[in-house]
Amino acid sequence: MAANSISHCFSLSITILFLYLLLVHCNVTYDRKAIAIDGQKRILFSGSIHYPRSTPEMWEGLIQKAKNGGLDVIDTYVFWNLHEPSPGNYNFEGRYDLVQFIKLVKKAGLYVHLRIGPYICGEWNFGGFPVWLKYVPGISFRTDNEPFKKAMAKFTQKIVQMMKDENLFESQGGPIILSQIENEYEPESKLYGPAGKAYVKWAAKMAVGLNTGVPWVMCKEYDAPDPVINTCNGFYCDYFSPNKPYKPTLWTEAWTGWFSDFGGPNYQRPVEDLAFAVARFIQKGGSFVNYYMYHGGTNFGRTAGGPFITTSYDYDAPIDEYGLIRQPKYDHLKELHKAIKLCEKALLNSDPNIVILGSYEKAHVFSSESGGCAAFLSNYNLRSNAKVTFNNIHYNLPRWSISILPDCRNVVFNTAKVGTEASRVQMVPTNVKIESWETFNEDVHSVDDESSMTVKGLLEQLNITRDTSDYLWYTTSVRISSSESFPRKGTPLTLSIQTAGHGIHVFINGQLSGSAFGTQQKRKFSFTKNINLHPGENKISILSIAVGLPNIGPHFETRNIGVQGPVVLHGLDEGKKDLTWQKWSYKVGLKGEADNLGSPNSIPSNDWTRGSLATLKQRPLTWYKAFFNAPGGDDPLALDMSGMGKGQVWINGESIGRYWTISVNGNCSGCSYVGAFRQTKCHFGCGGPTQQWYHVPRSWLKPTRNSLVVFEEIGGDASKISIVKRLTATDK
């Protein structure tokens, strides 16, 4: 009898434990109103923080600041090209430690939206695709193509299994409540036609079949198949409705600003307008908002895409590139989140009743017995404030704003009324001296040595470099007989080059003849310049430069860069000489890259030359090395590169990224929060370089003798490079 009693008690305990686990680890679900976690519907605020765009030492602080700012969820892409640099070889270490990043989000008590993609766009090199994928036989990207689907499914399964192994899905007690498959596919879907539609169905079925226990989403995909939720990206999403009435209205990218490209302006999005956009979305029935970006961070190394995207990915986000809070954006959004959370029950338990208050003024009223009453009073007028009467009470509504009334009576927040002063950021010099400068010069004369490849005609750059370097040398020879008169009388000798970008430096007999670059708007460009040749053999060397691979659009397998031709000499006796189809030698990268000069222990010090920097100011293709001690304190640090031209920089072997001091081309005449925000509004930085300061993570530094290595393509004054610290007005 006692044994049976014990057995019964044991069985009852197991049953209770099982039911408890079901409650604790229940699947995330949704209805037309919202995502439900553990059976409870929620209005959720999320922010994008991309783990490789900061350092592991920064992650915890960034996540905590996001939580303090009123966020519930951290959103991140998964970066395929970082994690699988070659087929079947994976890297999840250091800045790529996705699992550790998600565990830190869980530790902070927040949820995760994991955007696996695996295409991400994100202004990231090649849209997040590994370049080796381009060379899989028979591949066609992002369509109903078996080689592509096989590779995509394999990587997606790899990531999902990693998450399952670590119990990171909410259905396992982890923080991941949503996952995304594909990314902004709608424009491509139309181009691919029936094959695009078939691919969308396949991707949805593949993802859902992985049984994560949490919903999948597709952003900017109007025909996302059930049960996948289609979502909105943009500056505004109040116009958006999901493709089925039983799906919630989710905004996966509320753009907090915009990215910068070298030569273009930097952007600010006024927080009054961003808050207005979020309130508009919520009053129309939205229940999930993700800020893209909440912390933008830095495109370290050669990860920036575009082409021409800057190393800084600051994005005018609430937390700036360096991890500092940006005011008033941070506090104003925090107050917005508080106000909307006060309305949560009413918002989730009723549909809005719209009351017309004037020509441009409306009230969205949410009222139910179980959820109380909440109201959003809006004024869409671009010119005038308004006085309205609602529930027999008078309210003043600033233009282009929404007031939030959690009890349908008292205003707790207005989107246009900002109560926090703007951050006053300073880049302050440190007392750090950069010393012991040495130089190393690229030997242009050796670019067609025995290690190069020679073929007839011009080859596409990416096919040769496989993105192992930004640089590819194209070299050919032109023989001028001593009896030949050139150039023709009265006609200069001119070299013209047509290229697919992104930049070139042209050397004639080892001397720089000129440079040319494309732009974000005009990537293909031509080089035309008068040159000097001498009787006999003349060497023409073209250093072709990539400035980030494309990250958007269809048919990644067809993307090309480099010197496409024709290459023509004009002004010879015969009129012109087409060099396109003669023999060209090719050499990938630079000698300094082959010698790993970015590393502090690369080659013996006697291969570097000590001397005065004054004589080297405008010498192209020069490497510089020096040492410095770390500044005291814990303020964020940056390199001021305004005295340099264009190139790359390393500290203690870690790549800070590409630098380029090209001046801003933009209209910085003014900025108003009123009216729809577009990239044409609110430019700043005119008159200076698009990017002057380059983030130096503190965790990359040692107390003393830190190595600084700079590769300069064009020419600059390395003695003007300095280390500065970033302070805000509240810093001591």
Active site residue 253: yes
Q: What is the DSSP string of 326-345?
A: PTTHHHHHHHHHHHHHHTHH
Spatial separation of the C-alpha atoms in residues 423 and 704, rounded to whole Å = 32
Catalytic-labelled residue, pool 182, 253, 344, 712:
253
Whether 82 and 97 have beta carbons less than 8 Å apart is answered as no
Helix (H, G, I), strand (E, B) or coil at 206: helix
Whether 548 and 263 have beta carbons less than 8 Å apart is answered as no
- The amino acid at 23: L
Burial of 615 (0-12, 13-18, 19+ CB in 10 A): exposed
Structure tokens at 435: 């010393």
Whether 685 and 631 have beta carbons less than 8 Å apart is answered as no
Whether 562 and 518 have beta carbons less than 8 Å apart is answered as no
Residue 349 backbone phi and psi in degrees, to 5: -115, 10
Distance of CA 584 to CAs 239, 566, 568, 581, Å? 55, 13, 14, 8
Within 94-193, residue ranges assigned H as helices are: 98-107, 146-165, 186-192
Residue 110 backbone phi and psi in degrees, to 5: -110, 165
Nearest residue to 96 via CA among 129, 51, 66, 163: 51
Burial of 239 (0-12, 13-18, 19+ CB in 10 A): exposed
Spatial separation of the C-alpha atoms in residues 175 and 106, rounded to whole Å = 6
Catalytic-labelled residue, pool 84, 184, 321, 593:
184
Spatial separation of the C-alpha atoms in residues 169 and 290, rounded to whole Å = 19
**b/e code 539-549 from CB counts within 10 Å (16+ = b):** bbbbbbbbbbb
- Could you tell me the strand order of the sheet in which 622-628 lies? 609-610, 435-441, 622-628, 706-712, 646-651, 654-660
SS3 readout for 22-48: HHHCCCCEECCCCEEECCEEECEEEEE
Structure tokens at 476: 């050919």
Residue 661 backbone phi and psi in degrees, to 5: -100, 30
Nearest residue to 649 via CA among 574, 732, 571, 716: 716
Active site residue 123: no
Distance of CA 171 to CAs 176, 212, 226, 651, Å? 8, 7, 20, 42
The set of catalytic residues is 184, 253
